[in-house]
Amino acid sequence: AHWHLFRGTPSRLWLERTFADVFGVDIPFRPQTADQVYDALAARLAEPDFRPRALFGRFGIEVLATSESPLDDLAPHATLAADGWGGPGGRVITTFRPDNVVDLDWAGWADRVAALGELTGEDTTGFPGYLTALGRRREAFVKAGATSSDHGHPTARTHPLAPADAAAIYNRALQGTASPADAEAFRAHMLYEFARMSVDDGLVMQLHPGSVRNHNRWLHAAHGRDVGGDIPQPTDYVHALGPLLEAYGNDPRLTIVVYTLDETAFSRELAPLAGGYPSLYLGAPWWFLDAPEALRRFREAVTETAGFYNTAGFVDDTRAFCSIPVRHEVARRIDAGFLARLVAEHRLPLDEAAETIVDLAYRLPKRIFRLEQR
């Protein structure tokens, strides 16, 4: 009865193409056909060809990366690797996502830091032991197959603190007296620390700033985090990333992939930064911007300044496994259309456009996320 609410949205596109292309259910969605669609999907899901492993192979997935916190058990990844899950040429790897032990504003932070100490055998009652514990977990993630870390902070701010100042904030946080300013300063310092660690262990550093989390307070109180109450905000990159880029932006050992929810930053800040620092790449349009028109606007905004090869190609962040093919198909069609226009306007030869689309869809993400090396 409410299907009309999806008109014009990418959600409708993804659902219709997933049902039709993956499940072979090409029935118009109407209140009168709801039971028919449900029964058809239920029948497909009961077939062996629609089990997760079969679909993984059918989709042609080479790498599927999950995100785990430093506290998560990585044994399931070891089991998958030992079992050969993914079939020939396919694998499932983990990604180091430390936000829940970095964000002092996150309820239960001190308890999770204590658990981190227990897990690693390090003394996390002090800041040096906390850093050591994080380093040990990163080692475990690399051993489990991780090639990248992921950091979802409210802002892109990076700023190193003096060791005594970082320790003082850390101690206040353990005592429950840290202020919002302390939390922001600590996040900024930890991004700097994680860049240092990435130089050592080789994890690609992904930054996902710019979301005001839990903006709908009623929704958060009623249902908790990560249920759709987050809103994009304007995000500064030029000044926020300055300290980190000054220290590591020219270091060939570090790769940083930056995403944004602030479209105004694409041409004004991010494309020039990616063109100016060899360590920095532009991530694919993310979350609210992973949609056909936004994907097109991204290419139009960044290509004249950053080109194609300062972007990281397309990766999806869907939680819906069966939507993976359509997510990539949409991105490839948009990029192919953009390249076709360049060819039609005599701005790019056809053979170079054909090479570029393969780079954007496949070779660039594989190289930049170091998926060829491990």
> 146-187 pLDDT, tens per residue?
999 999 999 999 999 999 999 999 999 999 999 999 999 999
pLDDT of the residue at 127: 99
Considering the domain architecture, whether residues 94 and 35 belong to the same structural domain is answered as: no
Q: Which of 246, 238, 276, 280 is nearest to 368 (CA)?
A: 280
Decide the pairing of beta strands 231-232 and 211-212: antiparallel
Q: Is residue 373 assigned to a domain?
A: no
CA angle, corner 25, sides to 21 and 26, nearest 5? 85
pLDDT-derived band of residue 67, with 50, 70 and 90 as boundaries?
very high
pLDDT over 60 at 193, yes or no:
yes
In this prediction the pTM is 0.95
Residues 170 and 304 placed together within one structural domain of the fold: yes
CB 312 within 8 A of CB 369: yes
pLDDT at 213 exceeding the cut of 90: no
Looking at the structure, tell me whether residues 120 and 7 fall in a common domain: no
pLDDT tens profile 121-136: 999 999 999 999 999 9
- What pLDDT, on the 0 to 100 scale, is given for residue 86? 75
Q: Are 138 and 96 spatial neighbours (Cβ–Cβ below 8 Å)?
A: yes
What is the reported pLDDT for 4? 93
10 and 145 belong to one structural domain:
no
Domain count, the chain: 2
269 and 350: one domain?
yes
Whole-number percent of the chain with pLDDT over 70: 99
Say whether pLDDT at 373 is over 70.
no
Query: Do 37 and 79 lie in a common domain?
Result: no
Residue 47 predicted with pLDDT over 70: yes
Evaluate whether 244 touches 191 at the Cβ level (below 8 Å): yes
Regarding whether 250 and 221 lie in a shared domain, the answer is yes
Task: Indicate whether 107 pLDDT > 70.
Answer: yes
Position 87 scores a pLDDT of: 73
Same domain, 227 and 304: yes
User: What three-state secondary structure class fits 8?
Assistant: coil
**The domain that contains 80 carries what CATH number?**
3.20.20.140
Is the alpha carbon torsion for 83, 88, 89, 90 positive or negative? negative
Asked if pLDDT for residue 48 goes beyond 80, the answer is yes
| pLDDT score for 374 | 54
Which residue range forms the structural domain that includes residue 239?
68-368
